Amino acid sequence: MASTNELKNGMVLNLDKQLWSVVEFQHVKPGKGPAFVRTKLKHVLSGKVVDKTFNAGTKVETANVDKRDMQYLYKDGEDFVFMDSETYDQLPVAGATVGTAANFMLESTDVIVALHEGTPLYVELPTSVVLEITYTEPGLQGDRSTGGNKPATLETGYEIQVPLFIENNTKVKVDTRTGDYLGRVN
């Protein structure tokens, strides 16, 4: 249990048997009436964001979320198998839990897996990864000045938009949060 006065960004709360992560919070002391805490909470599993207001000093139940450094090993059917970097234990994680992170993971990618009472909640990737373009249409000569984009398939099978000058087998940096092209890598 923690007081609403002790809330911090990233803290995970257990409200009505559901896990919510604190995205932002603000202590408000109006001129009239009691103080309160305005929060923006993100549902850990679904990603839904809600606004919730608590009276100042109210006790809320916190959840113990263990974030572990793990390495992605391989895909086993619908599950993704990760290995704990410290204990070398292997942990299968359901594809639904991995979600869009699968678009940017190659075997041996280092990630953070968040666990609550041994159950995987989500997979956290670095903000950007370097992946190779396996297929893209060739850019036409003279097209480079227009600043247009074209689709390109990454080695994970995910498709992103890249500038016209990018060719096959080029390594590019990709933002894992949005899927945006960030630049070429030599």
Q: Are 171 and 132 in contact (CB under 8 A)?
A: yes
Q: Is it the case that residue 105 has pLDDT exceeding 80?
A: yes
Q: Average pLDDT, stretch 139-156?
A: 76
**Binning pLDDT at 50, 70 and 90, where does residue 96 land?**
confident
The burial class, CB within 10 Å (0-12 / 13-18 / 19+), for 41 is buried
**pLDDT computed for residue 24 by the predictor:** 93
pLDDT given for residue 166 in this prediction: 86
* pLDDT confidence tier of residue 146, bands split at 50, 70 and 90: low
Domains of the chain: 2-60 (2.30.30.30), 66-124 (2.40.50.140), 128-185 (2.40.50.140)
Residues 55/72, Cβ–Cβ less than 8 Å: no
pLDDT tens for each residue of 37-68: 999 998 887 878 999 999 998 999 999 888 89
CA 154 – CA 162 distance, rounded (Å)? 11
Using the predicted structure, report yes or no on whether residue 95 has a pLDDT greater than 60.
Answer: yes
Question: Residue 114: phi, psi to the nearest 5?
Answer: -90, 130
Contact of 41 with 23, CB cutoff 8 Å: yes
For the whole model, what pTM was predicted? 0.73
Cα 47 to the center of its chain, rounded Å: 10
The per-residue pLDDT for 76 is 92
Q: What is the mean pLDDT of residues 107-127?
A: 90
> Any idea what the Cα angle at residue 157 is, between residues 131 and 78, rounded to 5°?
115
